[in-house]
Amino acid sequence: MMRTISMMRRAAAVALAVVMTVSMAACGSQSTAADTQDLVVARSLETTDMLPATGYSNGDIWAIQQVYQTLTRNKTDGSGVEPGLAESWQESDDGLSWTFRLRHGVTFHNGAEMTAKDVKFSIDFARTARDDKPWQFLFEAISGVDVIDDYTVRLDLSEPWAPLLSDLSMSAISIMPADFAGMSETEFRSHPIGTGPYKVGEWKKGDYIRFVRNDDYWEKNRPRLNSVTFKYVADANTRSQMVQSGQAQIDEFPTAVSVSALNKTKNVHVASFPSTSLIWVNLNNRKKPLDDVHVRRALAYAIDKQAIVRAVYYGQAESANSMLSKNLMGYSKDVKDLQYSMKKAKGELAKSNAPKHFSLTIQVQSGDPEKSMLAQILQESWKELGVDVTLQTLDSTTVYSNRTSGDFDVAMFEMTNDISDPDEWMQYMFSSSANVNSGYDNPQVDDLINKAAADSDRATRLKYYAEVQQIIADEAPEIPLVYKPGLFAVRDQVKDFTVTTLGEYKLADTTIARE
């Protein structure tokens, strides 16, 4: 492992030298957008889908949130929800129905007023099962939606459902105009209409999506920018260069090794926000020998997370003990993970049905030096167990599509929760129908997750969630690596840029000052 860490350090030094060279060259540069209110964000993930119910990755979700809105919305610190398009709500005594009163005077981007009819259409569309709707499981407890009047809607439930208010803040259940405003679903995908602070101005898939200000937005004096462009740039070094030269004002997720150099660059600083981010290893439990719990435990024991924190993240992350984010309700600090021990790793492998030598392929997202370094560390660590690891570099869209189809052995991902309740994370990551498609199937885990969602008592829910986390830690269907803050390289001219703990970009308040 020491040889691996040394190799990683040398690779990191090269990357740092590149950043510092660009930094020195950029010190005298002025932003080309210094005198405008047009923001460019260089993003690591592409926006591929703007239909709320089918949008999948953070590349989609964080774009959808600029255009659409939901009945409830997350608080900035991720601690709960506050009124969104619904200004108030009331739960029935039996917990089986909720009545929501809508804001008056909210209009869609096409000028039509939002009413309860639009809310019913949107919720019914989101909760109707379809193979391309990855978040439909969040809305299964909703059994019916009734329009009471133009500004009142009632949701009926099949059972009491503790996460409901949080579920209604999910981008997948954003409010759209009824019947797609007279368009077909296909047409609406290309010409989305919401109630949010920004409208889609231009969308060049594979390159960028540009949002323009919604002058009729219901929150007064918002938004303050003329436009926001999400520019897809997979390569981390290129994103840093764009911010340093002024081609972009924000770089999403600069590498940890570049932070010090970026903070020394004139007119640039690195902003750090609390986050639910977890970097983790996804194992395909359907494939041999990963279907053997002893093999998975061996792989987990063979990972030195503390070394990863030092070598890859330069102390700007922390070792993860649980597959649930530490900044999310339900996280248990008492979960005992499989801490690094090559002796225990070899002991677990000896108990398995795996051959003495077997092969695995790790799929790695291109342009992400941190994930590349992680993959190399895993490759070297698992080599000591007699595992022949091949690294396969693919673009992020392919890595995600392979996960959906189950076409992978091992992959690494970054997970953030989109709502304030852990139910999304629990179902998405650990249930037998989990969208991470690990193939893990444990009826006890399914039962605990369902019990937690149906119970309104917080202490009881926390107990169930702690049990789930320990089972996952013991059986290692997925392996947590590190918890990360949300890091962004930002030009100093950008003011009031905030990212919530749940990852949403709060761009309605953002402005750009003259440099």
Long-range Cβ contacts of 294-297 (<8 Å, 24+ apart): 294/348, 294/349, 294/351, 294/352, 294/353, 294/354, 295/348, 295/349, 295/352, 295/354, 296/475, 296/476, 296/477, 296/479, 297/338, 297/345, 297/348, 297/474, 297/475, 297/476
110: domain CATH number is 3.90.76.10
Q: What is the pLDDT of residues 440-498, one digit of tens each?
A: 999 999 999 999 999 999 999 999 999 999 999 999 999 999 999 999 999 999 999 99
Write down the pLDDT at residue 262.
Answer: 95
* Residue 211 within any structural domain of the chain: no
- Please tell me whether residues 288 and 410 are part of one structural domain: yes
Q: What is the pLDDT of residues 57-91, one digit of tens each?
A: 999 999 999 999 999 999 999 999 999 999 999 99
| Residue 142, CA distances (Å) to 83, 160, 198, 273 in order | 20, 10, 29, 34
Write down the pLDDT at residue 356.
Answer: 83
Write down the pLDDT at residue 17.
Answer: 44
* Residue 350 within any structural domain of the chain: yes
- Please tell me whether residues 365 and 480 are part of one structural domain: yes
Write down the pLDDT at residue 15.
Answer: 44
- Please tell me whether residues 292 and 156 are part of one structural domain: no
Pairing status of strand 410-415 against strand 498-499: unpaired
Question: Can you give the residue range of the structural domain that contains 437?
Answer: 275-485
Write down the pLDDT at residue 355.
Answer: 82
What's the CA gap between 426 and 125, in Å, rounded?
23
3-state helix, strand, coil in the chain (%, to 5): 35, 25, 40
Residue 377: how many other CB atoms lie within 10 Å:
22
* Residue 17 within any structural domain of the chain: no
Q: What is the pLDDT of residues 267-281, one digit of tens each?
A: 999 999 999 999 999
347: domain CATH number is 3.10.105.10
- Final residue of a structural domain among 163, 180, 197: 180
Percent of the chain with pLDDT over 70: 93
- Final residue of a structural domain among 147, 180, 213: 180
* Residue 89 within any structural domain of the chain: yes
Higher local confidence (pLDDT), 222 or 29: 222
**Of the listed ranges 12-21, 57-66, 197-206, 486-495, the one predicted with least confidence:** 12-21
Q: Is the pLDDT of residue 8 over 80?
A: no
**Where does residue 248 rank: exposed (0-12), middle (13-18), buried (19+ CB within 10 A)?**
buried
Exposure string of 123-138, with b = 16+ CB inside 10 Å and e = fewer, is bebbbeeeeebbbbbb
Based on C-alpha coordinates, what's the Rg of the chain? 23
Q: Is the pLDDT of residue 31 over 50?
A: no
DSSP 263-298: HTSTTEEEEEEEEEEEEEEEE-TTSTTTTSHHHHHH
- Please tell me whether residues 321 and 175 are part of one structural domain: no
Question: In which band, very low, low, confident or very high, does the pLDDT at 12 lie, cut at 50, 70 and 90?
Answer: very low
Question: In which band, very low, low, confident or very high, does the pLDDT at 26 lie, cut at 50, 70 and 90?
Answer: very low
Among residues 35, 483, 499, which one has the least CA distance to residue 251? 499
Contact 290, 269 (CB under 8 A): no
Q: Is the pLDDT of residue 3 over 50?
A: no
- Please tell me whether residues 324 and 468 are part of one structural domain: yes
What's the CA gap between 202 and 187, in Å, rounded?
15
Question: In which band, very low, low, confident or very high, does the pLDDT at 18 lie, cut at 50, 70 and 90?
Answer: very low
Indicate the length of the chain as a whole number. 515
* Residue 491 within any structural domain of the chain: no
Contacts of 302 (CB under 8 A, 6+ apart): 340, 342, 345, 381, 382, 384, 385
Cα 253–Cα 282–Cα 476 angle in degrees, nearest 5: 125
Maximum alpha-carbon separation in the chain: 69
- Please tell me whether residues 159 and 282 are part of one structural domain: no
Please give the average per-residue pLDDT across 200-207, as a whole number: 96
| Residue 185, CA distances (Å) to 50, 120, 211 in order | 11, 17, 21
- Please tell me whether residues 415 and 289 are part of one structural domain: yes
* Residue 490 within any structural domain of the chain: no
* Residue 418 within any structural domain of the chain: yes
Write down the pLDDT at residue 36.
Answer: 82
- Please tell me whether residues 167 and 279 are part of one structural domain: no
Q: What is the pLDDT of residues 297-341, one digit of tens each?
A: 999 999 999 999 999 999 999 999 999 999 999 999 999 999 999
Which H or E element spans position 208?
strand 208-213
Q: How many domains does the chain have?
A: 2
Average per-residue pLDDT in the chain?
A: 93
Q: Is the pLDDT of residue 25 over 50?
A: no
Among residues 78, 14, 53, which one has the least CA distance to residue 502? 78
Contact 278, 414 (CB under 8 A): yes
Please give the average per-residue pLDDT across 240-251, as a whole number: 96
* Residue 18 within any structural domain of the chain: no
- Final residue of a structural domain among 180, 195, 221: 180
- Please tell me whether residues 176 and 324 are part of one structural domain: no
pTM above 0.75, yes or no: yes
